[in-house]
Structure 1
Amino acid sequence: MQLSAAPYEERLTAPRSWWLISFLAGVSLALILLPFGTLPMLGGLVGGTAAAAVAASSYGSVRIRVVGGALIAGEAKVPVTALGEAEILDPEEARAWRTHKADTRAFMLLRAYIPTALRVEITDPADPTPYLYLSTREPQRLAEAIRTAREAAAA
């Protein structure tokens, strides 16, 4: 496979406020364990904070990449030759496509804390998925990378 002319990679990291929430989860567990003494309280603070931080980190570790003639979004890997037009969705339109306009057959890599998205048509008639909905902070760059990769694959 040939590499895309415009490789793209984005990690959909969790917002900074989630790290504060992770710490507050540890404080909550520490308060619950306070009646059992200082050592269990400190263990609850460290353990609760660590567990919440691992959960926030894993949720925010998903990546979107355009490389090697394929779009890789989370667990989905779609050759760019099977992709149609990409529609850039502003926050209002992205909300509509996550809710009342959504198709249950669509692949949705959505993160509610990212307001913008990209909707990419699937043109492969053998694939029942009508489109990909991808939350992205840089929808223009992702759409351009897909278009460039599709042109390079067609050449």
Structure 2
Amino acid sequence: MHRQTSGYHERLRVPPRWWIQWTLMVASFWVAMIVAVPEALAWGITTILMVLLTALLHAYGSARIVVTDEWLHAGRARIQLHYLGPTQVLDAPDMRSIAGPEANARAYLLLRPYIRTGVRIAIEDPNDPTPYWLVSSRRPTLLAAALNAAASDTKAMTDPEHGAKPH
């Protein structure tokens, strides 16, 4: 039986200022419409825009990072831990550099512009052309610690020198 206990969990929620700014944008749109179209139409369009805004911001902020005993899930992607190499914690300048001028087009990216820090996770799968994953995180030190601990535990369990067999 495989344990699925989460060693780490983070949701990349949209910050409150985005909600405020976009709500004010819709309110501005309502002000422009209320003088140009019938009131009921202005309210109807505004309601539809608010529903769409809520759905879009919620969907964009729903990306999750989860480390279990066997897997790393980052957004819609997942990878078994035994394929992970070292994880590097990135501060804002390093994150900006690796996501920009030093970027590798084959890397998997889970980036959010409102999160300035993250991790770079080396991929050690000879069949995977992806050199690394670059993942935004508000708690990169905790994420890196969870990944490094889980990956080393997984590799120790699958190492033939320890007599264990891979799952």
> Which category of TM-score, normalised to the shorter sequence, fits these structures?
over 0.9
Q: CA deviation at 1:6?
A: 6.3
Task: Quote the residue 1:137 is aligned against.
Answer: 138
After the TM superposition, which residues 1-155 of structure 1 pair with which residues of structure 2 at under 5 Å, given as runs? 2-3=2-3, 7-34=7-34, 35-153=36-154, 154-155=156-157
2:84, 2:121 within 8 Å by CA — same for their partners in 1?
yes
Segments of 4+ in structure 1 off by > 4 A? Answer: none
Q: What SS is found at the alignment partner of 1:36?
A: coil
1:120, 1:133 within 8 Å by CA — same for their partners in 2?
yes
Q: What SS is found at the alignment partner of 2:3?
A: coil
1:119, 1:134 within 8 Å by CA — same for their partners in 2?
yes
Q: What is the one-letter code of the residue matched to 1:126?
A: N
Q: What is the one-letter code of the residue matched to 1:27?
A: A
TM-score calculated relative to the size of structure 1: 0.92
Kindly report the root-mean-square deviation, in angstroms, between the aligned alpha carbons of the 2 structures: 1.7
1:5, 1:149 within 8 Å by CA — same for their partners in 2?
no
Q: What is the one-letter code of the residue matched to 1:125?
A: P
Q: What is the one-letter code of the residue matched to 1:26?
A: V
2:6, 2:66 within 8 Å by CA — same for their partners in 1?
no
Indicate the structure (1 or 2) with the bigger Cα radius of gyration. 2
Task: Quote the residue 2:162 is aligned against.
Answer: none
Gaps of 5+ in 2: 158-167
Q: Distance in 1 between matches of 2:47 and 2:33?
A: 12
Which string of whole-angstrom CA distances, capped at 9 and with x for unpartnered residues, describes residues 59-95 of structure 1? 0100000014110001111101000000100100000
Identical pairs, percent: 34
Q: Distance in 1 between matches of 2:5 and 2:43?
A: 52
